[in-house]
Structure 1
Amino acid sequence: MTQIKNPEDAPAAFQAAWNAHDMAALGALFDPQATFVNRFGHFVRGVEQIVALHAPIHQTIYRDSTLESELIDIDPVADGVAIIHFWSRLSAGAAHPAGAHVVDTLILAVLIRQNEAWRIRALENVTLTNPRTGEATLRD
């Protein structure tokens, strides 16, 4: 299971858990009281709820998906607290009702240090869209 040893490790750890479709590994990245907002605006609190939100889609429409993450920025705001932003490219496979396609999102996460590891305390995922049409767009 991938741990977050430094804030800059969070995107790769999230990517690894997603690509393995390992919900225990995904849950381990989060603080027990973490909040999560998915790209559709669904808000949940707590590791159990975060895992419950992701487990069904990893068994069905995203079972053959992969994620690529790229760190954009780290902002250490206090000792043991950091805000990060990272790009996320979801490649959905044939299991998705819309077929294989790609979606780009921007993720903002607040991380807190607990002992020697960092945990995600809050994460929000925003789909890139054309503001005039609402159509999903891909970044360059």
Structure 2
Amino acid sequence: MPAAFAAAWMARDADALAALFEPDAAFVNVVGLWWHDREAIRRAHAYGLEVLFPDSTLTVGRTTVKPLSDTVSVVHARMRLTGQSALGDVTEPGARHTIFSFVMRCGADGWRCASAHNTDVVAGAESHIRTEAGDLRPADYRT
């Protein structure tokens, strides 16, 4: 799944990306946007690949698979994203690292994703804290 997801991303093919998911799949992105079916996942990624990430590179790192049964597995993958579109005062966005969680199910048409969740890795943080101004910022209580 991680390799197929990255291949569809790199091809800028939202249809191929969406085809990796079950019709009623769920997807939660890095800021908590939650899409509830394959078509919503396709639309969101079509927009993202056109506006936020048209020149991006997505690479797959360490991947683990934990079978829960003969037909269900949880897949975790580290991903690295570079080349995100500039916005505001950020003219050259840096690399982002995420961990994807995919719940995979094998059915009549092979393995498809039932649920995906993408989480940004925030170096040096163990949580987030909301400031009095309403901003969300990384927090480390150990220091």
Q: TM-score, normalised by structure 1?
A: 0.82
The letter for the 1-side match of 2:126 is P
Q: TM-score, normalised by structure 2?
A: 0.81
Aligned identity (percent) is 31
Q: Deviations over 1:91-125 (max 9, x none)?
A: 124x3323242000011110001225210100001
Distance between the aligned counterparts of 2:15 and 2:44, measured in 1?
13
- Which runs of 5 or more residues in structure 2 are unaligned? 128-136
Query: 1:79 is paired with a residue of what secondary structure?
Result: coil
Q: Deviations over 1:7-37 (max 9, x none)?
A: xxx1100100011110011011000010000
Corresponding position of 1:7: none
Structure whose CA Rg is larger: 2
Tell me how far 1:134 sits from its aligned partner: 1.3
* Structure 1 residue 52 corresponds to structure 2 residue 43: yes
* Structure 1 residue 75 corresponds to structure 2 residue 66: yes
Distance between the aligned counterparts of 2:75 and 2:63, measured in 1?
8
* Structure 1 residue 109 corresponds to structure 2 residue 102: yes
Does the CA-based 8 Å contact 1:11-1:71 persist in structure 2? no
Distance between the aligned counterparts of 1:52 and 1:15, measured in 2?
17
Tell me how far 1:58 sits from its aligned partner: 1.0
Q: CA RMSD in A?
A: 1.6
- Which runs of 5 or more residues in structure 1 are unaligned? 1-9, 136-140
Q: Deviations over 1:52-76 (max 9, x none)?
A: 1111121112000110012431111
Which structure ranks higher in relative contact order (CA pairs < 8 Å, sequence separation ≥ 6)?
Answer: 1
Corresponding position of 1:29: 20
